[in-house]
Amino acid sequence: MSNVFLISCVLFTLFVSSTYAQSCTNYNFTSNNQMSFTSCSDLPYLNSFLHWNYNPSTKTAKIAYRHTKIASTRWVAWAINPTSQGMVGSQALVAYQKSDGKMSVYTSPITSYQTQLQQGDLSFNVSDLSATYINNEITIFATLKLDNFNSTILNQLWQEGPLSGDSPAMHDTSGVNTQSAGALRLLSGQSGTTSTKASSQFNKRNLHGLLNAVSWGIMMPIGILFARYLKVFSDPAWFYLHSIWQITAYVIGVAGWATGLQLGSESNGIQFTAHRIIGFVLFSLATLQASAMLLRPKRDHKHRIYWNIYHRAVGYSIVVLGIINIFKGLNILKPQKKWETYYIATLVGLGIIAALLEVITWCVVIKRNKSVSNTVEKNPQGLHESNWYNGHENGTNRTHYRV
């Protein structure tokens, strides 16, 4: 029993020691050109810590951002956003180790979600900028002149991502990488998490992408397969299945479109013009298609052929534009590569199914037409009368099946 107690004490001591060692208050800067800091914060995500001194009379902050447990093939960044809590508009300090072993450290203003962290001037002055990489830990040092800031509570963000050669590549867009934002209170020496809004906007972007991918990119093509191939096997059941399916896809698509509008209104200065225009065109064509069902002529109407041409042309256009816009959306969101692979695999699967159904349908139609032709040869008068009656009952004068 005493041994169990002793082991428990040792484990508890190790746990406390490990936790204490990870605290920013226990860290000492030993390099000659680095000073001690009076304030620090254990940032809640990505193994990061911030140390700083702030002089309110000169509005100057000396900071040291530490990012631990980081491989030499990755970059890190710490930023202040003067205008919002999100990524766009933030003023970043970026650092990483280049392939030759030298450190690259520079400033980068973030102007879009598709940023490649290009070097540029920030909205405030930065001096004494340097960085080190020691024991799998990158530290960025800088002096910030915050004359344009009216508050001592700042929106801060921090991030990490992979390198592509000697250039930063896109960071992960899920998990803690979407939560690494918070409030920095320069005077109180505290920081708090304020990532709720950023996380909420990220969830909306994901929902927007999911709804549109399901509706325009998957359900709409399947609905066309219903109309194209089921009519040979189940007439008129195919029509009701096609209509209900496409209306459901339309409702989901409108929900995704509306989510996109809300995202646009919440993202001032951010605009993906091509993606937005295609989205409006899709909504307009789909609404027109749904409304045109109320004006569909009967089968024997002389204008029915023109309506059919219009209906098919608009339907195929919606599917093509929907797929194009989904890939544009994937390029904007930049999710993990597997999601784009899954969608491409889905399209390939639908294409294979369509090809098989096309062959099967033509075989069935040819076989039925041969059967009709043989019957005509044996009893042309009786079949003619029967087809005349059935054709007029169904509103058509066809005696042969068509695909």
CA distance 320 to 207: 21
Annotation: binding site: 208, 242, 275, 311
Q: Given the structure tokens 């209906």, which residue do they identify?
A: 311
Of 49, 165, 186, 176, the C-alpha closest to 104 is 165
CA distance 51 to 38: 8
Element (H, E) at 235: none
Element (H, E) at 37: none
Of 170, 257, 164, 246, the C-alpha closest to 211 is 257
* Helix/strand/coil (H/E/C) assignment for every residue in 275-339: HHHHHHHHHHHHHHHHHHHHHCCCCCCCCHHHHHHHHHHHHHHHHHHHHHHHHHHHHHHCCCHHH
- CB within 8 A of 146, min separation 6: which ones? 59, 60, 61, 124, 154
Burial class of 212 by CB neighbour count within 10 A (0 to 12, 13 to 18, 19+): buried
One-letter amino acid identity for 308? N
Annotation: binding site for heme b: 208, 242, 275, 311
Cα dist from 337 to 57, 180, 214, 256, whole Å: 49, 22, 18, 22
- CB within 8 A of 169, min separation 6: which ones? 161, 162, 163
CA distance 96 to 164: 11
